[in-house]
Amino acid sequence: MRSRRDQIMAILVVLPSLALLAVFVYGFIAQTVYISLTDWGQGAALALKPEIHFVGAYNYRELFTGFLNVRFRQDLVNMVFFTVMFVAASLALGLFLATMLDQRIRGEAVFRTIFLFPMSLSFIVTGTIWRWLLQPRGGVNVLPSLVGLPPASFLWLSSRDQVLQFNWQTLPYFVVLGAALVLVAWGLWSAARRRFRAAALTGLPGLVLLAWALAGGATQLQTLPFQEPHGFNLALIGVVIAATWQMSGYTMALYLAGLRTIPDELREAARVDGASTLQVYRYVELPLLAPITWSAIIVLGHIALKIFDLVFAMAGPDNAPTSVPAILMFLTTFRGNELAKGASIAVILLVMVSLLIVPYLLASFRTGRA
Amino acid sequence: MYQRGARISRWFLQALLILLAVVYLIPVYLTLITSLKAPADINLMTAWKPPAHPYWASYATAVSKFASSLKNSVVLAISATILSAALGSINGYVLCKWEFPGARLVLPLVVFGMFIPYQSILVPLFQFMRRIGLYGGLPGLVLVHVVYGLPITTLLFRSFYAEIPDELLGAAFIDGADFFGIYRWLVLPLSGPPFLVVAIWQFTQIWNEFLFAVTLARPAYQPITVALANLAGGQAVSWNLPMAGSVLAALPTVVVYVLLGRYFIRGLLAGALKG
Amino acid sequence: MRTSKWLAVLVVSVTLVACLGAAATSAPLSGKLEIFSWWAGDEGPALQALIELYEKQHPGVQVINSTVTGGAGVNAKAVLKTRMLGGEPPDTFQVHAGQELIGTWVVAGRMEDLSDLYAKEGWKSAFPEGLLKLLSTDRGIWSVPVNIHRSNVLWYVPDNLKKWGVKVPATWDEFLAIAPTLKAKGIVPLALGENWTASHLWESVALACLGKDKWEALWQGKLSWKSPEVVGAWKTFGKVLEYTNQDAPSLSWQQATDMVVKGQAAFNVMGDWAAGYMATTLKLQPGKDFGWAPAPGTSGVFMMLSDSFGLPVGAPHRENTLAWLRMLGSKEAQDTFNPLKGSISARVDSDLSKYNAYLQSAAKDWRTNAIVGSLVHGVVANERFMNDFATVMEIFLNSRNPEAAANAAQAIAIQAGIGR
């Protein structure tokens, strides 16, 4: 019934789209990776035909270990902290709002719209608005003075205070330790499911790595010849607040819809079995929301890792305390004329996003097949 | 006893929600009152006081300043939305109902494209755009948004079309319909809701986009986000203008959300709940 | 015979070409002229006046005013660079005169030499020699300056100083001596704004500590960034920073100037566009409502920066651009543009009666002072150095360690091809 002609037609129809994506996504990524492995014209990067030399991983090594690239490393730390805090805050607030709205509240539609509308804004608009709200001598800082209290003086976006500091030198050690623990855990999990070959393949290298790390081997992996403190910049709190204001409506909508798909019989059955409201929530509803949480983490997480416009509009490109790699790439490329280094930053950004996305894609398309 | 407790907690809940809604609306309040103040009346200390006399000139100035970039955004967002939705629909149809060898592999590769940070393709992109002569104008921007919109539109249409039972297609085959016939007479008439969802999504995404806009458009073709960022980031900001500009830039997408939000949520869930 | 015949042909064709060339220059220009700049807002009217002047001289040319503002100038750079990388230059673009132009565009072979234009228009005597040196390399002169701004200026309100009983400090030591008194009165001794204004302050402090000759030696790679003099400049800078406002990074330069005007701060070091802001936007009277002096320790030295336009290789309407450049260098254009922009003419023969009190005093200094170039505004170092210098400043602001900053600066100077 399906003719061969139709089948060929189907392929011909998608082919242009696939070809475009092959070029625009994979072709261009390959080109960026190539640029990142060169010195791209050095001082004369903007020549029509720049002189190009292959330099291997030099740019990457510089970014992680060159002492002038301290800003890149702090930007990377900023990005990770921002991502974790923003995703956690959006999930928590979204779940809270959804749970409340799920109580058959009066005016639910109005509340839903109010919580959701910030999502429709551009990050540029959000950033512009919140820049005004977070002016150190105005905005939310003068709110206390409306009730007669002295105004606050927190430097929302420009504070140089840092908490949760750690030494960059210790990072490789903890990365190795973490990787070893993950491998060991995976091995144990496989062993528990009687998949002994898989257990051996992951568990044994994990144990070796763990032993090596604990024996002090990994401490020799110092990337920097000097101590370099990095930590969570308090200035990022303002950005987290603005981003959460914008995106918590999204998680709320997801959770709300998730709650609505839970059949009432299930709740009733639990209640009949003597579960309290809280217990129903904890043991019936929350577990059913887990898949939603995962997809929200993916969506919000990749937005957070790529964050650019929001910080650009809120704090400007030159405000180091709130800077992230996406902004640094922009400055390095277009102001510093260092195209190769900019490309390296972009590739690192891509790798970070891929670490989050690829496992998700693999998992969801594998189950899709099942 | 139980009844009264429930009522109290209900009141408490309602009050808490109202409080939260107020908090969510604070930025809106501040934006609106600041946009209605004369530049001389804008003072950090009195930021929270509404203006004694609304200063509508902010909006008149903002409209005249942003007229051309608003027009650019409208042209850009509408044409790119229509094109990417149309392509996404036919792609979704093929990838869902006409699986060819390797299609299972292609789909994650396509979807990956919607997650990439665009910094990682930016430099090759504008060099390529220049080479094909589409750098700087709206057609080039439309092309870029269509291409990078393909992953999400394809994915959304594919998950919608998965709901169309294969038996229905089988019946159509028996009636002698071919590839395009089925699309035209069976799939397309069922595609109203997905088109709406995809259109809302793409329209907001494209309207709000900044990075491509700032690097790929010549000044004459700047979309509204760039114009707003330029105004707000420029020197000597009198804040009434960026605020009025923010309102103008936000209006179209907010209206879309308020009017069509429920379809949008439904669409999001189709993806999220499955994932 | 044969040779003379060929010679005749040659002569005829040369004359023909010359005539055509002459015809081309004398015939009215037509087509378009795209001018790329980041001038908008307060600076928009000054640019508009130039465009009107050009349109009057060349009514056949359609001027396209491409302005990209915002993002602290980064947006304009991003757009210009994507265009140039794509091989699609505008007819002319605004660029800071000096290394910002040379280090990015001239080394990349993207600009045309303007020596002929300078010779033909007699500009070599119209512009001061110190300026010409900063605009040129050994291979040519690369842009036409339309204005001159001064970077090393100290601003204050005379009446406030009288009220607080302090005098304008002539050196940074004097400043550091009076600063505690001001601070005790709850007055910020020195108002500061966002990140680049800290670098702006740094260049005035460094010029004071190094003096003219060593400042120049620094940029010629003859003085090490690790030398005691430069480390000393960082030390002084650190001491001065102690007397600035806490919320500096969130203020624009105008807001920092506002602090002085409102009596919240005593002084502010800013380029002389601040005079334009106070005189035009705030409607203050120069000399009475606000006063100025060379930044402490820099009297007799004019640290300049200049907006200029050049001729990119492959400009689509080359003749129109040349006409634009020719006009920009003229006395008429400079004296039209600068009173509106709040800057002075780069020429030494400008008509001072068109300028306000501040600008007249600046013009007098321009003609008599020693001229050096600004770092932050693109004269003495290339963009790579400028971009990395922001990181050095970051390192200093976080650590307050002069040696660390000096070491980092030396490293970036080597990377950017300045230091040895």
Mark whether C193 and C252 lie in a shared domain. yes
Instruction: Identify whether the C-beta of residue A235 lies closer than 8 Å to the C-beta of residue A320.
Output: no
C261 and C393 housed in the same domain: yes
Quick one: C224 and C289 in the same domain?
A: yes
> For residue B45, is it within any domain?
no
**Residue C336 and residue C309 share a domain:** yes
Q: What is the mean pLDDT of residues C203-215?
A: 96
Question: Chain B partners of C41 at a C-beta cutoff of 8 Å?
Answer: 234-236
B40-49, Cβ contacts within 8 angstroms, sequence gap of 24 or more = B42/B238, B42/B239, B42/B240, B43/A138, B44/A135, B44/A137, B44/A138, B44/A139, B44/A142, B45/A137, B45/A138, B45/A142, B45/A145, B47/A132, B47/A135, B47/A138, B47/A139, B47/A142, B48/A142, B48/A143, B48/A146
| Residue C15 maps to a domain | no
**Chains in touch with C (≥3 Cβ pairs < 8 A):** A, B
Residues of A numbered 170-199 whose beta carbons fall under 8 angstroms of chain B's beta carbons: which are they?
Answer: none
Grade residue B85 by pLDDT with cuts at 50, 70 and 90. very high
How far from B187 is each of A5, B152, B169, B174, CA to CA, in Å? 19, 19, 9, 16
* Domain, as residue range, for C115: 26-149+305-367
Residues 6+ apart with CB under 8 A from B247: B31, B32, B35, B59, B62
Tell me, yes or no, whether B180 lies in a domain: yes
Which of the residue ranges A7-11, C327-331, C405-409 would you say has the lowest mean pLDDT?
A7-11
Cα gap C53→C323, rounded to integer Å: 12
pLDDT at B234 over 60: no
Q: Which of residues 224-253 of A touch B (CB under 8 A)?
A: 245, 250, 253
Taking Cα atoms as reference points, which of B141, C99, B125 lies closest to residue A337?
Answer: C99
C8 belongs to a structural domain: no
Write the CA distances from C268 to A274, C108, C397, integer angstroms. Answer: 72, 38, 19
Per-residue pLDDT reduced to its tens digit, B99-126: 888 888 888 999 999 999 999 999 999 8
pLDDT for the residue A135:
85
- pLDDT the model gives residue B275: 38
The CATH number of residue B249's host domain is 1.10.3720.10
CA distance A32 to A348: 11
Residue B261 has pLDDT above 60, yes or no: yes
**Residue C3 is assigned to a structural domain of this protein:** no
Per the structure block, which two tokens stand in for A325?
């790699």
Q: Greatest CA span in chain B, whole angstroms?
A: 77
What is B10-38 written as a DSSP string?
HHHHHHHHHHHHHHHHHHHHHHHHHHTS-
Task: Give the H or E element holding residue C137.
Answer: strand C136-137
Say if residue C213 is in the same domain as residue C273.
Answer: yes
Q: Do C244 and C173 belong together in one domain?
A: yes
Residues C30 and C76 in one domain: yes
Q: Does C85 touch chain A (CB under 8 A)?
A: yes
C117 in Cβ contact with A54 (< 8 Å): no
Degrees (nearest 5) of the Cα angle B12, B17, B22? 125
Per-residue pLDDT at B274: 44
**Virtual torsion, Cα C357, C361, C362, C368, nearest 10 deg:** 160
User: Is C70 strand, coil or helix?
Assistant: coil
**What does the pLDDT read at residue A277?**
79
Q: Tell me: the pLDDT tens digits for B184-202?
A: 888 888 888 889 989 988 9
Domain range for residue B221? 58-274
Question: Do C37 and C154 fall into the same domain?
Answer: no
- Do residues C66 and C206 share a domain? no
**CA Rg value for chain C:** 23
Is this complex scored with an ipTM above 0.85? yes
Report residues of chain A scoring pLDDT below 70. Answer: 1-2, 218-219, 221-222, 367-370
> Does residue B22 fall inside a structural domain?
no
Name the 3-class secondary structure at C200.
helix
Residue A351 buriedness (CB in 10 A; 0-12 / 13-18 / 19+): exposed
Which among A6, A121, A131 has the least Cβ separation from residue B253?
A: A121
User: Higher pLDDT residue, B146 or B260?
Assistant: B146
Which pLDDT band, with edges at 50, 70 and 90, does C12 fall under? low
Question: Could you tell me if C201 and C343 lie in one domain?
Answer: no
Helix axis angle for B240-274 and B192-208, nearest 10°, is 140
Nearest to C78 among B214, B231, B232 (CB): B214
Task: Name the neighbours of A, counting chains with at least 3 Cβ pairs within 8 A.
Answer: B, C
Packing angle, helices B224-233 and B192-208, rounded to 10: 30
Each residue of C276-312: pLDDT tens digit? 889 888 899 999 999 999 999 999 999 999 999 999 9
- pLDDT value for B6: 65
Q: Per the CB < 8 Å rule, is B136 touching C88? A: yes
For residue C5, give both structure tokens. Answer: 């015949």
Query: Does residue C132 have a pLDDT over 70?
Result: yes
Residue A120: CA atoms inside 13 Å, Cβ hemisphere, count?
A: 23
pLDDT at A47 (0 to 100): 83
Overall average pLDDT of the C139-145 stretch: 94
> In 10 A of CB C388, how many CB atoms?
24
Confidence of residue C13 (pLDDT cuts 50, 70, 90): low
Interface test with B, best of C65, C82, C83, C253 (most B CBs within 10 A): C82
Q: What is the pLDDT of residues B165-174, one digit of tens each?
A: 888 888 887 8
Average pLDDT, chain C: 89
Name the domain count of chain C.
Answer: 2
For residue range C145-176, what is the model confidence (pLDDT) as tens digits? 999 999 999 999 999 999 999 999 999 999 99
Residue B8: both structure tokens together: 């109290």
> What does the alpha-carbon distance between residue B140 and residue A73 come to, in Å, rounded to a whole number?
35
B-proximal residues of C, 240-279, CB under 8 Å: 252-254, 277
**Cβ distance C263 to C160 under 8 Å?**
yes
| Residues facing residue C267 across a β-bridge | C190
Percent of chain A scoring above 70 in pLDDT: 97
- Strands C136-137, C140-141: pairing is antiparallel
Token match 């319909």: residue?
Answer: B177
Nearest to C104 by CA among C71, C77, C129, C130: C77
How does C286-320 read in b/e, with b if 16+ C-beta sit within 10 Å? Answer: beeebbbbbbbbbeebbbbbbbbbbbbeebebebb
Q: How many domains does chain B have?
A: 1
* Residue A47 burial by Cβ neighbours in a 10 Å radius (0-12, 13-18, 19+): middle
Do C245 and C309 fall within a single domain?
no
Token representation of residue A45: 């990067």
Residues A179, B105: Cα–Cα separation, whole Å: 28
Chain A: closest CA distance from residue C358 (Å)? 31
**Is there a domain that residue B212 lies in?**
yes
Average pLDDT over residues C307-327: 95
What CATH number did the domain enclosing C403 receive?
Answer: 3.40.190.10
Closest to C75 in 3D by CA, of C37, C124, C34: C37
Q: Are residues C161 and C82 in the same domain?
A: no
Q: Do C390 and A320 touch (CB under 8 A)?
A: yes
Query: pLDDT digits over C342-374, tens only?
Result: 899 999 999 999 999 999 999 999 999 999 999
Alpha-carbon span B150 to B153, nearest angstrom: 5
CATH top-level class for A69-161+234-369? mainly alpha
B65, B231 in Cβ contact below 8 A? Answer: yes
Residues of B whose CB is below 8 A from A105: 13-14, 17
Residue B31 located in a structural domain: no
* Residue among A50, A68, A312 whose CB faces C388 most closely: A68
Q: Does residue A24 contact residue A2 with C-beta atoms inside 8 Å? A: no
Whether the CB-CB separation of A187 and A240 falls below 8 Å is answered with no
Determine whether the interchain pair B234/C41 forms a contact, defined as Cβ–Cβ distance below 8 Å: yes
Query: Taking residues B89-98, what's their average pLDDT?
Result: 90
Residue C392 falls inside a structural domain = yes
The pLDDT value given to residue B72 = 95
Residue A1: per-residue pLDDT? 53
Residue C1 included in any domain: no
Give yes or no for C75 touching B (CB within 8 A): yes
Left, alpha or beta for B190 (phi > 0: left; psi -120 to 50: alpha)? alpha
